Amino acid sequence: MSLHAESVSWSRGGALIVDGVTLHPTPGATVGLLGPNGSGKSSLLRLMQGVMRPSSGVVRLDDDELGSVPRRRLARRVAVVGQHADTDMDIRVEDVVRLGRIPHRGAWGGDPTADAAAVAEALEQTGLVEKADRLWHTLSGGERQRAQIARALAQQPDELLLDEPTNHLDIRHQLELLTLVTRLPVTSVVALHDLNLAAMYCDHLVVLRDGAVVAGGDPHEVLTPELIAEVYGVAAEVRHDAARRRVVVSFDPTAALPAVGG
């Protein structure tokens, strides 16, 4: 069953941030987390990576409660990519990627051959082979995100958690990054703001509002004008593009919102 959440809730300062969420990603699938700011997407991802413990419910890795899983084992199985990353050290791209091998090092170090092979494969998968010797601060935003994904891939994880990885990227780099993520041989859970990107790249969508799941399923089932109006407070037209097998959402800022709930 791999990494999954069962009825998890989490509170901060007396406020309920995540409210009874269950998430069971299908192995190998790309799951998109949607919802407005403050809906609980990032908090749910932190619960699933073990940074925070749920107030109730449980996150499991296979059959083990996440809190009981040794940190090294967890880091070998689950990799995380945030919105952006920076460092004061001007290190090479290859050295950034090599950081992903830390979980595979024991008391006597790691396997240099295995480490080199994993780093080389991660650079190849992310199209960064020719930039391996480039310094971090010379990279564009899209290249930095790809380097962070390469670092995560060097961990050789089964699960990849991404918290709004397309923020601060232009359209080209958003498309490149999500194309890369969906082609990886891992299970991915990615928080997104853009509904059309989610519809294009995700196999399954989970929509959060005020910390709770309000919809889940295939993009064709989830992305409806009624749901978008209810969750985001905007009027939208949803079209099913049969030729491309995807949903297309367009917005009309001058249109009145459709009535919700009668």
Answer yes or no: do 189 and 234 share one domain.
no
pTM of this prediction? 0.89
pLDDT at 155: 93
Answer yes or no: do 236 and 124 share one domain.
no
Answer yes or no: do 70 and 176 share one domain.
yes
Range of the domain at 206: 3-223
- What would the pLDDT profile of 164-178 be if each residue is shown by its tens digit? 988 878 888 889 889
5's enclosing H/E stretch is: strand 3-12
Residue/partner pairs of 109-113 with CB below 8 Å, 24 or more apart? none
* Residue position matching structure tokens 């991404």: 162
Answer yes or no: do 261 and 209 share one domain.
no
* DSSP-H helix ranges across 91-209: 93-98, 112-125, 141-154, 171-183, 195-201
Is the four-CA dihedral 218, 200, 167, 236 of positive or negative sign? negative
Q: Please, which pLDDT band fits residue 1 given cuts at 50, 70 and 90?
A: low
Q: How many domains does the chain have?
A: 2
Answer yes or no: do 135 and 235 share one domain.
no
